[in-house]
Chains A and B, each alone.
Chain A
Amino acid sequence: MKEGFMNTLKIWLREYQVVLTDVGVVIIIIAAPVVYPILYSLVYYPEIVSDMPVTVVDLSQTSESRNFMRQLDATQELKVEGSCISMEDAVQQFKQRKIRGIIVIPESFSEDIANNRQTNISAYADMEFFLYYKTLMMGANFVSLEEGKQIQINNLMQKGLDLNQAGAVVDPILPDDNSIANAVGGFATYAIPVALMLIIQQTLILAIGIAAGTARERHALGTLVPMDKDKMGTFRMVFGKSAAYFTIYALLCVYLIGIVPKIFGYCRMGSFGELAALMTPFLLSCIFLGLTLSVLFKTRESPMMLFLFTSFPLFFLSGIIWPLSNFSPFWLMFRELFPSSNAIFGFIKMETLGATVFECKKEIMAMWIQTGVYFVTACIVYEVQVRLSKRKRAELASTVAQTE
Chain B
Amino acid sequence: MKSLIKSIWAVAKREIDRMSSGTLYILAVLIFPVLTTLFFCSLMKEGVPAKMPIAIVDLDQTSTSRKMARNIDATPASDVVMSLQTEKEAMSELRKGSIYGYIVLPQNLQADIMANRQPVVSYYYHNGLFIAGGLLRNDFALITHTLSAGINIQKREAMGQSEQEIMAQVQPIQLNMHLLFNPRANYTVYVTTIILPIMMQIFILMMTVYSIGIEIKERTSREWLKLSDKSIVVALTGKLLPYTIIFLILMMFQNFMLYKVMAVPMNGGVGWIILSSFLFVLSYQAIGIFCIGLLPMMRHALVLAAFYAILALSLCGFSFPTESMSPIFQIWSYGFPVRHYMHIFQSQILAGFEPIYSARSIIYLLLFLLLPLIVLNRLKSALIYQNFIEDIHKTDIQAI
Contact = CB atoms under 8 A, between A and B. Distances in A.
B127 A181 contact: yes
Given A128-B346, A140-B175, A185-B127, A227 B396 contact: yes
A220 B116 contact: no
Contact of A121 (B120, B126, B175, B206): B175
A147 interface: yes
Given A127-B351, A137-B177, A185-B134, A180 B121 contact: no
Interface in B336-352: 346-347, 350-351
A121 B202 CA distance: 44
A190 B128 contact: yes
A1 interface: no
Contacts of A306: 24, 27-28, 32
Contact of A174 (B120, B131, B159, B191): B120
A111 B124 CA distance: 39
Given A127-B351, A148-B171, A353-B128, A175 B303 contact: no
B335 to A, nearest CB: 13
Most chain A CB within 10 A, of B213, B302, B315, B326, is at B302
A302 B203 CA distance: 13
A171 interface: yes
Contact of B303 (A28, A40, A320): A28
A313 interface: yes
Given A173-B151, A177-B140, A180-B126, A122 B313 contact: no
Interface in A164-215: 164-165, 167-183, 185, 187, 189-191, 193
Contact of A127 (B181, B203, B314, B318): B181
Contacts of A179: 124-125, 127, 133, 137
Chain A residues touching B, majority SS: helix
B173 A126 contact: no
Contacts of B300: 24
Nearest to B350: A127
A387 to B, nearest CB: 16
Contacts of A181: 126-128, 133
Interface stretch (B2-10, B42-50, B227-235, B380-388): B42-50
A132 B185 CA distance: 12
A50 B397 CA distance: 65
A3 interface: no
Contacts of A95: 347, 353-354, 357
Contacts of A220: 394, 396-397, 400
Nearest to A219: B396
A218 to B, nearest CB: 5
Contacts of A116: 165, 168-169, 172
Nearest to A172: B151
Contacts of A86: none
A44 B314 contact: yes
A178 B122 contact: yes
Q: Which of the listed residues B144, B351, B397 has the most CB atoms from chain A within 10 Å of its own CB?
A: B397
B24 A362 contact: no
Given A113-B172, A125-B179, A315-B313, 20 more contacts: A123-B177, A127-B179, A129-B321, A144-B175, A145-B173, A148-B172, A169-B152, A172-B116, A173-B118, A175-B121, A183-B127, A190-B130, A218-B392, A302-B24, A312-B36, A320-B130, A331-B43, A345-B97, A354-B95, A355-B96
